[in-house]
Amino acid sequence: MRSTQRSLTTWIFSLLCACGSDPSSEQQAHAPLPSLELLSGNIVDALCESQLQCPIAYDDQLYTAALFVQRHGEPLDNCRAYHKTTKTLEQHERYRQAQLRGSLEVDPAGLRRLAQCELPSEDQSWLVGKLRPGEACQLHAECQDGYCDTAAVCPGTCVARRPDGVRCDSPWQCLSNNCDVTCLPRALAIGANEGEACSSEGEVVTLCAPTLWCDERSGKCRRPIAAGQACEDDDDVCAPGHFCVAMSSSDGLERQRSCLPVQIRAPGDACDSGAAAAGETYRVCDVVNLDACVDGACVHYPEGQASDPCNRTEMADSCAPGLSCDWFDWVCVALLEDGAACSSSSECRGRCNPTTERCESTVPYCEEAL
């Protein structure tokens, strides 16, 4: 049975989402792209420093942060290595191309604020769009105070987000990113101390000081939970290199959770799938190398052909060009041609048009409609 170990964070993926593929994705999917120094700021370093130094409770972020700390080498280098996957580099290349078009800038000051725990981890204000409503766009970040509507065609059109007081259906429609029937204002407070109130939602978002995390159950800032101490769920922040996991009992049932050290295992070694069987460590496979926990042992898959078993994270998979690792059956499947019925762009060689629900080529690349 395949492990339920987490791969990459919703946090990272929401920032670096490569939801579709370029027309040439069959060649790009596994061809190495150059390591990019963006024209204005190092995005990867800022993201990694935020993940490692700002203990905000998001379960996938916490798991990978623990893995980076326990993996051989420096944690920051391990995080950088995880970002050096094809999909991430492709998204960085799209940012670079947008910069060259003059439709996007990267704000170094904003990146510094992200790395210094002065912005929520999902905040993208360091991407500064230059396109006004009605202008043609490819990426959401290109639009000034808006998003790129690509539902019908690519390139899409920039649509303005709504001000406070205007009716809304979801937070992304609002300039404040805060929706409750109407767009509501939102303020940001930084640096709450241990025991002080904190919050991640509502009209005032209050971030804890660096080294502290916001316990949403109590609404208070607290220190990371010490190694070996009891914890309640995946969102609890443990000491660096540790993760809150359930420990299995002799009857196979899960029992009390504890902050256990993440132990990186090699192919062929025993690994934990869900609960920690060993009880003293959480034995995991090296997702940086795309190793997977299968039937209690770590497996490393070579480049797979159609129907071969595979592994994938949100950032990469082990299948050959023109194939994708299916999330449910974990075998390599062919990407769909233009005109085929689809529900997600991850199924297509190009993108899945959300209006027609058919695969179509995209020249140029466009992000999914929100």
Has residue 178 been placed in a domain? yes
* Residue 356 resides in a domain: no
In a domain, 5, yes or no: no
Question: Alpha carbon of 34 to those of 37, 93, 100: distances in Å?
Answer: 9, 9, 17
The mean-pLDDT minimum among 32-46, 167-181, 276-290, 319-333 falls in 32-46
Parallel, antiparallel, or unpaired for β 179-180 and 358-360? unpaired
Per-residue confidence band for 71, with pLDDT thresholds at 50, 70 and 90:
very high
Query: Has residue 242 got a pLDDT over 90?
Result: yes
End-to-end CA distance of the chain: 34
Q: Which DSSP category does 333 fall into?
A: E
Q: Would you say residue 346 lies in a domain?
A: no
**Cα distance between residue 51 and residue 287, in whole Å:** 17
Is 138 inside any structural domain?
A: no
- R_g of the chain computed on alpha carbons: 21
**H or E element in which residue 247 lies:** strand 242-248
Q: How many domains does the chain have?
A: 1
pTM of the model: 0.77
Please indicate whether residue 68 or residue 314 has the higher confidence score (pLDDT). Answer: 68
pLDDT band for 203, please (50, 70, 90 cuts): very high
Is residue 263 domain-resident? no
- pLDDT tens per residue across span 248-282: 766 655 578 999 999 999 999 999 987 888 778 99
Neighbouring residues of 284: CB distance < 8 A, sequence distance ≥ 6? 5, 67, 262, 263, 264, 265, 271, 272, 293
pLDDT of residue 251: 60
Assigned domain for 219 exists = yes
Q: Which two tokens stand for residue 20?
A: 């579709």
Tell me the mean pLDDT in the region 85-112: 84
pLDDT at 226: 96
Listed residue (337, 340, 305, 301) closest to 321, CA to CA: 305
199 close to 221: Cβ distance less than 8 angstroms: no
Average pLDDT, the chain: 82
pLDDT of 15 over the 60 cut: no
Which residues touch 321 (CB under 8 Å, ≥6 apart)?
26, 27, 29, 30, 31
Its domain, for residue 218, covers 162-223
204 in any annotated domain? yes
Residue that wins the pLDDT comparison between 162 and 327: 162
- Backbone dihedral angles phi then psi of residue 94, each to the nearest 5 degrees: -65, -40
The CA–CA distances, whole Å, from 200 to 108, 120, 213 equal 24, 8, 11
